[in-house]
Amino acid sequence: MAVPAIAAHHSAGAVAMIEKNASVHWEGRGKEGQGQVSTETGALQAYPYGFGSRFEDDRRGSNPEELLGAAHAACFTMAFSFACDKAGFATTAVDTRAAVRLAKQGEGFVIDRIALQLDAAVPGIDEAMFQQLAQSAKENCPLSKALASVPSITLVATLRR
């Protein structure tokens, strides 16, 4: 079932609100069930996920943790590039990996760690400024803020020379 998008409100060229949508359809019970995830852009269209792709090694489907990791890596990468621009440095290549760990806790599970790895080429920047901008992006990207309940969000940032 598609959810209607709310249009962005523009004031003086700035975007005030944006809402993006994703949907899931699930059939079946628990471990035997199978879901399909879709995004409004069509990047994912009825993409499968289920117990096997989440808790076992079934590579035929996705899982919430890898989707969360992709979203966090994308948000952080943009925040880092924007921070570099604001500081007067142009990023030429930025690669980010996010490892999201799902751990057993009592009767359920919890995401207890997200490990970000940044590898970037930023001509003319020194190591101290690079680390400062990377850390600031980690702390201030909207997804890092939304994920503040995760006990450990780490960052290893490597400046390509």
> Is the pLDDT confidence value at 12 over 90?
no
pLDDT in tens, 64-113: 999 999 999 999 999 999 999 999 999 999 999 999 999 999 999 999 99
Tokens of 153: 């969000």
Q: Quick check: is 108 in a domain?
A: yes
Q: Quick check: is 20 in a domain?
A: yes
> Is the pLDDT confidence value at 16 over 90?
no
Q: Quick check: is 1 in a domain?
A: no
Assign 59 a pLDDT band (cuts: 50, 70, 90). Answer: confident
**CA-CA distance, 77 to 96, in Å (whole number)?**
7
Do residues 77 and 145 both lie within one domain?
Answer: yes
Domain hosting residue 83, numbered range = 64-159
Supply the mean pLDDT for the chain: 92
Mean per-residue pLDDT, 25-35 = 95
Q: Quick check: is 4 in a domain?
A: no
**CA-CA distance, 138 to 115, in Å (whole number)?**
11
Do residues 36 and 103 both lie within one domain?
Answer: no
Look at residue 57 in the predicted model and tell me its pLDDT: 87
Fill in the DSSP letter of residue 62: B
Mean per-residue pLDDT, 2-18 = 58
